[in-house]
Structure 1
Amino acid sequence: MNYRWFYILLANIALLSANIWLFVDKSSPDVVQDKDSDVELPVFKVGPLKDFGISSVQSFHFPLMDPLPSKEEQLQTLLIQTQSTVIQKDNTIKKEQQKRTQTSQRFSLLSKENAVLQQQLLALEEELKKQQALLSDEKSKVARLGKVEKEVPVFETQITRVKNAIDSKPDLIKSKVTTSKPGNESSTDEIEIKKFSGSMEFGFSYEQDNQVTRSLNGRLILDYDEVDKYNFNSDLEFEFENEDDESSTQKYRWQLQSDYNLDPANLVYARSDINRSKFSSYEQEDIFTIGYGRIFFNTERHKFNIEIGPGYRFAVPNAGEDAVSIDEFIVRTRLNYERVVTDSLQVAIDTVLETGRGNSVHSVNFKAQNRIYQELYLIFNFDYKFTQNVPVDTVNQEISSGLSLLYAF
């Protein structure tokens, strides 16, 4: 172990000798005299440092010998670094805020454009609905005109056209008659819609056997029709019967009805039916109803429609007869079918059911009319009426039939 320390000491001495030999100038040493004594000390000159790759003593740097920085310098350096980081983050935040502001502005512009487009879309939808309604009206008009329009030869005279119109005109089913302007026979025929129409009906019978019986009945019908808008109808009917100069039957009936068309197939109506009869079960029967009607089909040859609605009935029995039902709410249902069999023969079936809590009335009317000449018709009528509850000593069923002449205008 002592030899180990000895070898280390020798190595250090050898290194020291080598340093002295390398850094000390081998020329004659300068002699320096000590100020405090007369002894002169030799001075060894060190050769130029450039011989060892060192330019100067100042440039010869030993890193291990540099002094450590102070705490203030460390804090200052850290502060500068922190400030630089904060500035960078602030710049990043500002850029993000600018991007967000630009995005918000763009979103606001897009929202305004969307609102304007929505308003334009609503306006276009309203215009489309109006155009569709107009188109539907035009189609319905074209369909109505197409039902009655007939092909007329170009060289057909006006008299022939009028004659054909009269011969083929259906009376139970209203239609349009084609006419042309006077003095302009070569022009295209125009469709004329007849708004006002009517008819007068009279019947008379005379019988002589054991008794002399005379009867007179009449009817006046007035109708005003505004196509696809509204319709007014008045139907006044009366009947007188006399046996051996004594009055046996007096009957009046006046029916008024007003229809308002919702569209070509649907309507609403208000109706009054006033009956006065001197010798029947009820002296007075007044019925007032409102309701809904629907036309299932209406062509030149046939028509079918229904009506249904609530109403109120006033029923007053004749003197000396017990009352069965007086003043009650009812529900009225009507089915009506009209048919043009030939150019001169038309038929119609009309059935009505009036249902109340205390009494119900069902009636059926069959009518056939045949053209005799132009606007003159022979009419056959058959009426059946059934009343559920009637006064004592009166019948539930009432049946009547007859022939009469009708003039239409």
Structure 2
Amino acid sequence: MKKLLIASAILMAAPFAAQAGANFVEGDKIFGGDAELGATMTTGNTETTSVKARLDMKHELGNWENQYLLEALYKEDTGEVTGKRYYGLIQADYKFDEKSYTFVNGNHEIDPFTGFDSKSTVSAGYGHKFIDTGKTLFNIEVGPGFQYKRLDNESAAVAGYDTEDSWVAHGVVNYEQQITDSSKFKQMFVADYGDSLEGRSETSITANIIGALAMKFAVIVRYNSEPLDDKKSTDTETNMTLLYAF
């Protein structure tokens, strides 16, 4: 944990060091985001509950663009919890110009069904928007990071240790395309490569229903090249949610 705090301090300082020799661009403060919610509940002979919630917010101020993301997934089948995941992310981007920026982010995930009580990652690096036309966005982020994991009691007893940590190479590839005036396609890949390769792919299509209300269909794939002994390397998640933009 001490290594994680040291790494966090080093990586968090990166954008501020970049800002030291630059001036903020005066401009309006911009804040917005979207909230998602999807739920399924059945009673009677079959009793199931499934809830997916997500809150994604962005704040722009001068050269800074900050993102705050919260996600929650909960599944229950006949009184037994079959899925539970909580995820939070904070990212700050400092823009050098319209195309280039430096970033720093930290995220924390709780997913007991992977055999880990929690996983935390901090990273910093350089980002570049290769295409940004208003209708099409393609950007890549790369940089170093540090990852810290805590095993649950059962997995720790089998493995003989209760924590894992490693430096990682962090990368993000993001593509967004406005299909029509009321629909958008997004594809994002996130990867952390250290002692193992961990990746996340999210493919989604969003279509407006009325006003700020939209329907979103998403397929999420998570991959770990070295899962714990009794776990699978790939998890998939398919969601249909309502999205409200604000």
TM-score, normalized by length of structure 1? 0.51
- Structure 2 residue aligned with 1:395, among 217, 232, 240? 232
The residue that corresponds to 2:198 in the other structure is 361
| 1:250 CA drift (Å) | 2.2
Equivalence map 1:172-321=2 (5 Å) = 195-207=30-42, 211-226=46-61, 229-321=63-155
The residue that corresponds to 2:3 in the other structure is none
| Other structure's SS at 1:326 match | strand
Q: Does the 8 Å CA contact 1:259/1:268 hold for their aligned counterparts? A: yes
Q: Residues 321-344 of structure 1: CA distance to partner in whole angstroms, max 9, x if unpaired?
A: 245981000000110000000011
Equivalent-residue separation in structure 1 for 2:142 and 2:44 (angstroms): 46
Q: Residues 270-325 of structure 1: CA distance to partner in whole angstroms, max 9, x if unpaired?
A: 10010011222322110000100011121121001000000100122232124598
- Structure 1 residue aligned with 2:166, among 328, 331, 343? 328
CA RMSD across the alignment = 2.0
Structure 2: which amino acid aligns with 1:277? D
> Which gives a bigger RCO, structure 1 or 2 (Cα 8 Å, sep 6+)?
2
Equivalent-residue separation in structure 2 for 1:360 and 1:204 (angstroms): 32
Equivalent-residue separation in structure 1 for 2:190 and 2:82 (angstroms): 27
Q: Does the 8 Å CA contact 1:294/1:305 hold for their aligned counterparts? A: yes
Equivalent-residue separation in structure 1 for 2:58 and 2:92 (angstroms): 10
Structure 2: which amino acid aligns with 1:299? T
Equivalent-residue separation in structure 1 for 2:45 and 2:223 (angstroms): 31
Equivalent-residue separation in structure 1 for 2:124 and 2:187 (angstroms): 22
Larger helix fraction of residues: 1
Q: Does the 8 Å CA contact 1:213/1:241 hold for their aligned counterparts? A: yes
- Structure 1 residue aligned with 2:214, among 377, 380, 393? 377
Q: Residues 220-250 of structure 1: CA distance to partner in whole angstroms, max 9, x if unpaired?
A: 11110135x1101100001111222333322
Q: Number of paired residues? A: 217
Q: Residues 118-151 of structure 1: CA distance to partner in whole angstroms, max 9, x if unpaired?
A: xxxxxxxxxxxxxxxxxxx9xxxxxxxxxxxxxx
- Structure 2 residue aligned with 1:351, among 189, 192, 208? 189
Structure 1 unaligned spans of 5+ = 1-136, 138-191
Equivalent-residue separation in structure 1 for 2:146 and 2:182 (angstroms): 39
Larger strand fraction of residues: 2
| Other structure's SS at 1:405 match | strand
Structure 2: which amino acid aligns with 1:388? S
Equivalent-residue separation in structure 2 for 1:393 and 1:403 (angstroms): 30
